[in-house]
């Protein structure tokens, strides 16, 4: 048995990556799950791997399931495909695509093969061994700032508070409007006193 160390980069920023260890006998479903765990993503969406090369071209798919789309060749299935069976290069590459709507894309590179004699068999594989950079947030700012921010946002209704901020000069304008309204009210009272019963002419309230 051998242990494979992969470096998994977020495609949009290669300074953000995770190192993961898997046994060569484990399957691509195991690799799929540890990548999502490493980047703190859920496991609710569709996913597929592609065999790749040094220029990250996408080759044959190793997919979570057979999807309703056109394939050049039928995909392999993650649960049925051992990772070691797809290692044909000491610098083997894969592309991992998660959530076909959002198209989260990760670049995977084999960086080390640990032989059986050197592997720590007391560890539970697969596992994450290194985390570099703040990963992308799957569902936006609440994920970035955590559950506490979500609680604060709900308690104080920050979205409404943001809309409530006025622009400079609005307070003065409001004060002028109030003064104008008071002047109109005084004028109406004077007119009512002078008109007397004429105020009640017309439709009744």
Of 3 and 155, the structure prediction assigns the larger pLDDT to 3
The pLDDT assigned to 176 comes to 53
Instruction: Give the mean pLDDT of 159-182.
Output: 51
Residues, the chain: 205
Averaged pLDDT of the chain: 80
| Residue 49 in this model has a pLDDT that exceeds 70 | yes
Beta pairing, strands 104-114 & 13-23: unpaired
| Residue 186 in this model has a pLDDT that exceeds 60 | no
Q: How many C-beta atoms lie closer than 10 Å to residue 99's C-beta? A: 15
Q: How many C-beta atoms lie closer than 10 Å to residue 98's C-beta? A: 23
Two tokens, residue 35: 């990548």
**What span, in angstroms and rounded, lies between the C-alpha atoms of 57 and 93?**
9
pTM passes above 0.85:
no
Backbone angles phi, psi at 76, to 5 degrees: -80, 160
pLDDT tens for residues 9-29? 999 999 999 999 999 999 999
**What span, in angstroms and rounded, lies between the C-alpha atoms of 95 and 109?**
9
Residue 94 — pLDDT band, cuts 50, 70, 90?
very high
CATH code of 3-136, in short, is: 3.10.290.30
For the chain, where are the E strands, in sequence order?
A: 3-10, 13-23, 47-52, 61-63, 76-77, 93-98, 104-114, 127-132
**What span, in angstroms and rounded, lies between the C-alpha atoms of 8 and 21?**
11
């Amino acid at each position: 048995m051998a242990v494979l160390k992969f470096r998994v980069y977020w495609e949009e920023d290669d300074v953000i990556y995770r190192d993961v260890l898997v046994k060569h006998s484990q399957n691509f479903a195991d690799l799929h799950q540890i990548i999502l765990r490493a980047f703190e993503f859920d496991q609710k969406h569709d996913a597929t791997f592609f065999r790749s090369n040094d220029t990250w071209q996408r080759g044959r798919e190793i997919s979570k399931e057979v999807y309703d789309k056109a394939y050049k060749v039928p995909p392999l299935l993650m649960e049925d495909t051992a990772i070691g069976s797809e290692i044909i290069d000491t610098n083997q590459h894969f592309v991992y695509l998660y959530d076909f709507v959002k198209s989260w894309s990760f670049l995977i590179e084999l960086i080390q093969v640990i032989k059986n004699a050197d592997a720590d068999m007391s560890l539970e594989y697969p596992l994450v061994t290194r985390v570099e950079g703040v990963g992308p947030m799957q569902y936006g700012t609440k994920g970035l700032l955590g559950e506490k921010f979500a609680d604060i946002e709900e308690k104080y209704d920050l979205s409404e508070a943001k809309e409530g901020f006025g622009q400079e000069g609005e307070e003065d304008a409001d004060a002028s409007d109030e003064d104008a309204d008071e002047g109109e009210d005084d004028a109406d009272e004077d007119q009512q006193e002078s008109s007397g019963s004429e105020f009640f002419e017309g439709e009744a309230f």
